[in-house]
Amino acid sequence: MKPIKNWSDLERRFTPFIEKGLVELLPEKSSYTKKFDSALHYSLTSGGKRIRPLLFIAVFLALKKKIEKSELEKLIAFACGIEYIHNYSLVHDDIMDKDELRRGAETVWKKFGAETAILVGDALLTKGLGILYANYYSGALFLNRNVGAPGMISGQAADIECEGKSASSYGEDALWYIHGHKTAAFFSGVCGAAAVAAGQGKAILLKFADFGFYTGGAFQLTDDILDETGSAQYQKSRNDKRNEKLTALKYFSVGEAQSIVDKLSLEAENILLSIPCSRNVLKEIIDLLRKRKK
């Protein structure tokens, strides 16, 4: 395949395959589960930037330029598994936070009911893990830990326990625990899994895991900033305030938070420079995520 020129080229070439795969990998429908089947399909087709699966592909291709068609199919399937797991987390988060809108559309629980939404999240997680293990077993092992109790789930648990508390009740460490165990851990798992899938050893795996951690941390901190400064369409802000979430702007001004984003992004770039790989697309990803407005 031709080399990837930039992030736009990556999106253009791989997003259609991801969108197609997300639907094709859905479990078989049943006449007894029509509501559930509709909700499951809705959860995967209601928008989304597909950043995590595209990041996985970008890291993989930065390390392994020549791939056969059979491996390309595995690569896309694994990327779809990542998006299944990401969407499971969103579906369950929306239930816990009582969010009624996501990406400008009704959340799954709001449209189909909380009971159905819980099952949708369960289905996305179990199906997603199955896809991961069926394609790159060692990569799945690494990612599984980061999205499980040691990682993303612990971050969500802390997020809930800190709700309604003042910033002084927990201190800044609580914020970094939540950020580090949610988005940063997921990004770290995605990048580390890509390194494993590309046939790299422990040293490169750990470097890319760190790269993902700092990139994910910058991404989440930017989310907190956009919650406060983004357009009216960036609905999460109202809900975070309503739920009294522990966000970065409880501790820092917008300018201070942006400065931390820049430092995290620079750390990710420095790690990338220490890895023997094609760096252009990954450096662009860092910059795009740091400067995004939505």
CATH number for the domain spanning 73: value is: 1.10.600.10
| Mean pLDDT across 271-287 | 96
Q: Please answer whether residues 91 and 124 qualify as being in contact, where contact means their C-beta atoms are separated by less than 8 angstroms.
A: yes
The amino acid present at 294, given as its one-letter code, is K
| Mean pLDDT across 286-291 | 90
Cα 160 to the center of its chain, rounded Å: 19
Give domain status of residue 216, yes or no: yes
Give domain status of residue 1, yes or no: no
Give domain status of residue 128, yes or no: yes
| Mean pLDDT across 249-266 | 96
The pLDDT, as a whole number, for residue 3 is 86
Cα dihedral value 153, 49, 19, 2, nearest 10: -110
Does residue 233 register a pLDDT over 80?
A: no
Percent pLDDT > 90 in the chain is 84
Does residue 79 register a pLDDT over 80?
A: yes
Give domain status of residue 283, yes or no: yes
Q: Please answer whether residues 209 and 139 qualify as being in contact, where contact means their C-beta atoms are separated by less than 8 angstroms.
A: no
The pLDDT, as a whole number, for residue 240 is 60
Check residues 19 and 47 and name the one with the higher pLDDT. 19
Is the pTM of the predicted complex or chain greater than 0.85? yes
Does residue 239 register a pLDDT over 70?
A: no
Q: How many domains does the chain have?
A: 1
Residues 6+ apart with CB under 8 A from 58: 4, 7, 10, 194, 281, 282, 285
Give domain status of residue 2, yes or no: no
* pLDDT tens-place string over residues 86-96: 999 999 999 99
Check residues 276 and 294 and name the one with the higher pLDDT. 276
Give domain status of residue 271, yes or no: yes
Q: Enter the DSSP assignment of 252.
A: S
Does residue 151 register a pLDDT over 50?
A: yes
Give domain status of residue 51, yes or no: yes
CA angle 71, 76, 79 (to 5 degrees): 125
Q: How far apart are CA 229 and CA 221, in angstroms?
A: 12
Q: How far apart are CA 73 and CA 44, in angstroms?
A: 19
Query: Domain residues for 149?
Result: 7-291
Percent pLDDT > 70 in the chain is 96
Q: How far apart are CA 70 and CA 17, in angstroms?
A: 14
Q: Which two tokens stand for residue 49?
A: 């930037």
Q: Please answer whether residues 53 and 82 qualify as being in contact, where contact means their C-beta atoms are separated by less than 8 angstroms.
A: yes
The pLDDT, as a whole number, for residue 237 is 45
Q: Determine the straight-line distance between the first and last CA of the chain, rounded to whole angstroms.
A: 31
| Mean pLDDT across 156-169 | 86
| Mean pLDDT across 111-138 | 98
Q: How far apart are CA 128 and CA 132, in angstroms?
A: 6
In terms of Cα–Cα distance, which of 122, 126, 188 is closest to 155?
188
Give domain status of residue 164, yes or no: yes
* pLDDT tens-place string over residues 193-228: 999 999 999 999 999 999 999 999 999 999 999 988
| Mean pLDDT across 171-192 | 96
The pLDDT, as a whole number, for residue 243 is 61
Does residue 137 register a pLDDT over 70?
A: yes
Which helix H or strand E contains 106, and what residues bound it?
strand 105-106
